[in-house]
Amino acid sequence: MQGWKKGASLILALTTAFGLTACGSSGNNNDSNAAAAGNASEPAEASASAELPALDPANPTKVTFYSYSLAYPTMKAGMEELLNEFNETVGKEKGVIVEGIADTTLTQWKTDIQAGKQVDIVQHGFATMDSSRQTLGFKAFEDVFPKDELESHLQGISPNAQALGKIDGKMYGLAFTFSTPILFMNGKLFQDAGLDPNNPPKTWDDVKAAALQIKEKTGKDGFGLAPNNGWTTEGVILSNGGKVIADDRKSAEFASDEGIEAIQMWKDLYHSGAHAVGTDSEVTEQFMAGNLGMFLQSTSVYSGIKSASEAAGWQVYGAQMPQFGDKPSVPVNSGSMLAVRPDSDIKAAAIWEFVKFVTGDRGYTIITSKVGYLPLRTALADDPNGLKDFVDQNPLYRVNLAQLDRIQPVAIWPGEYATEIATAFTDAIVKAVSTDADVRETLTQAQDQINDMLQQ
């Protein structure tokens, strides 16, 4: 009996081993299948050629577009209009169907690439592009799209804006939704506090004085910039002559004297009693509810703010990003770029049609008027067939466009630890601004930690 039990156990063990081997080999098959299908991640097949193959309208090519704007309530309708118009016009005519995928977590495209799904175009943030290029198979535009068509398409987009997605001289992303931070103001609270929104605060000292006045006269918070905003912070540091990352992108430099002084100024404002507290989304909601005097934020939320203010009966005003003393402010860009992963020439041709449309005149007209970002083709703002009427009705966009000549790109953190580095930077700022922690010590510690990661 014992022998039988041993025998049966042996059979089970062998079955188990077989199961594991089978699973293992199936896993390997998956890997090799994925490697084959997922040559999307290393799509060497899609090569730069003088001409891309012709698309077939009778047999349209499907491409996927992962977009976080599709997941934001204030941007969703505009982004859907952009996709629908492409599919119904150029897409139908040329033979391309773009499937929009709302990326609620901003990381779904990563997990879908990991799962071997088809991820062709991503609305990608700026800070982690280098990491994605190295590990997730995104391709330089010069390598997959025809050179002459690319050059011709980029005419009309300022070189500053083109530079935003360039790494090592190649364009890994074309600026898509794009904005700079501006100082939104609640006209009613300004007037209730005896301030004139047409004569907005210019320097950080002016902002603090106005914020305290609003708090004193109305009881509402005077100013808000959430410490975890992530990107506007960089503009604050740059505006005081500091740097976030070295020019050669080999080390972090935000803990310089200028950087520390800028963050110290913000900390003083934060603890003045007139600064809003909470996360970026909570401060946005506070401003939209009419409970905040000034709010430094990207114009991408303008459409939401505008409808909230109209519903509540107050007027929203805008001013340029505040400056330190007489040094003009240096805003950075928010938003995203289009990053592409074609796995064949025909896919590259389909993606190229979509990129041309959404970053062309019609695309930017929809993006600005319906989503809220800036037109990268700035001439559209003065074009009667483009956005002239819209910008005249929403003069706040002129404020934003006026800042473009001073704009600097947001830091693109190098290498594979880009996401960890971006988190470490934001965490240090949150700690330095919102707690009693010493600014110099906190920023220096974070800078050392980031430099360690950069050298790994």
Partner 1 sequence: MSHMEPTAVIPPLAGTASATHASVSRRALLMRRLKPYLYLLPAIVLLIIWMYRPLLYTCYLAFQKWGMVPGTEPTFVGFDNFTRLFRTDSFVHSIGNTVFYTVGLLPFSIVIPLILAVVTDGMKGKSKNFYRAIFFIPMILAPVSVGAIWRWLFHPSNGLVNNLLLKLNVVDRPIAFFSDAQWAKWIILFITGWKMIGFAVLMFSSALTGINREYYEAASIDGAGKFRVFIRITAPLVSPMVLFMLTMSILFASQWTFAYIDMLTAGGPYGSSTNVYYEMYKNAFANMNVGFSSAAALVFFVVFGLIALGLNALSRKLSFYDN
Least distance to partner 1 from the beta carbon of 16, Å?
6
Least distance to partner 1 from the beta carbon of 352, Å?
23
51 vs 282, which CB is nearer to partner 1?
Answer: 282
Binding flag, residue 285, partner 1 (CB under 8 A) = yes
Question: Which H or E element spans position 110?
Answer: helix 108-114
> Could you tell me how far CA 221 lies from the centroid of its own chain?
28
Binding flag, residue 42, partner 1 (CB under 8 A) = yes
Least distance to partner 1 from the beta carbon of 341, Å?
11
Contacting residue, 160, 264, 291, 451, with partner 1 by CB under 8 A: 291
Question: Which H or E element spans position 319?
Answer: strand 316-319
What angle (nearest 5°) sits at the alpha carbon of residue 72, between those of residues 66 and 75? 95
Question: Which H or E element spans position 339?
Answer: strand 334-340
Least distance to partner 1 from the beta carbon of 106, Å?
9
d(CA 11, CA 67): 52
Least distance to partner 1 from the beta carbon of 208, Å?
17
Least distance to partner 1 from the beta carbon of 388, Å?
37
Binding flag, residue 163, partner 1 (CB under 8 A) = no
Residues in contact with partner 1, counted by CB under 8 A, come to a total of 58
Contacting residue, 125, 173, 227, 318, with partner 1 by CB under 8 A: 227
Pairing of strands 292-298, 221-224: parallel
Least distance to partner 1 from the beta carbon of 432, Å?
10
Q: Is 142 exposed, middle or buried (0-12, 13-18, 19+ CB in 10 A)?
A: middle
Least distance to partner 1 from the beta carbon of 171, Å?
22
Q: With CB under 8 A as the contact rule, which of the stretches 84-92, 251-259, 282-290, 400-408 interacts with partner 1?
A: 282-290
- Show the binding pattern over residues 3-32: x = contacts partner 1 (CB under 8 A), - = does not: -xx--x--xx--xx--xx--xx--x---x-
- Show the binding pattern over residues 133-162: x = contacts partner 1 (CB under 8 A), - = does not: --xxx-------------------------
Least distance to partner 1 from the beta carbon of 399, Å?
25
Q: Is 167 exposed, middle or buried (0-12, 13-18, 19+ CB in 10 A)?
A: middle
206 vs 268, which CB is nearer to partner 1?
Answer: 268
List all residues 6 or more positions away from 348 whose beta carbon is below 8 Å from its beta carbon.
46, 52, 144, 145, 340, 342
d(CA 63, CA 351): 7
Contacting residue, 14, 54, 163, 289, with partner 1 by CB under 8 A: 289
CA 170, 69, 421, 224 dihedral sign is positive
Binding flag, residue 277, partner 1 (CB under 8 A) = yes
Amino acid letter, residue 222: G
Binding flag, residue 436, partner 1 (CB under 8 A) = no
168 vs 436, which CB is nearer to partner 1?
Answer: 436
41 vs 64, which CB is nearer to partner 1?
Answer: 41
Contacting residue, 47, 107, 152, 198, with partner 1 by CB under 8 A: 107
Q: Is 41 helix (H, G, I), strand (E, B) or coil?
A: coil
Q: With CB under 8 A as the contact rule, which of the stretches 167-175, 177-185, 272-280, 364-372 interacts with partner 1?
A: 272-280
**Beta-bridge mates of residue 102:** 67
CB 242 within 8 A of CB 235: no
Q: Please name the residue ranges forming H helices in 313-381.
A: 345-358, 361-366
Contacting residue, 232, 240, 286, 394, with partner 1 by CB under 8 A: 286
CB 97 within 8 A of CB 87: yes
Output DSSP code: residue 359.
T
Q: Give the chain's length.
A: 456
CB 30 within 8 A of CB 38: no
d(CA 352, CA 48): 12
Amino acid letter, residue 120: D
Using CA atoms in the order 13, 17, 19, 24, what is the torsion angle rounded to 10 degrees? 160
Pairing of strands 61-67, 121-124: parallel
- Show the binding pattern over residues 412-431: x = contacts partner 1 (CB under 8 A), - = does not: ----xx-xx--x---xx-xx
87 vs 284, which CB is nearer to partner 1?
Answer: 284
121 vs 150, which CB is nearer to partner 1?
Answer: 121
Residue ranges that bind partner 1, judged by CB under 8 A: 4-5, 8, 11-12, 15-16, 19-20, 23-24, 27, 31, 34-35, 37-42, 107, 110-111, 113-114, 116, 131, 135-137, 221, 226-228, 273, 276-279, 282, 285-286, 289, 291-292, 416-417, 419-420, 423, 427-428, 430-431, 434-435, 449
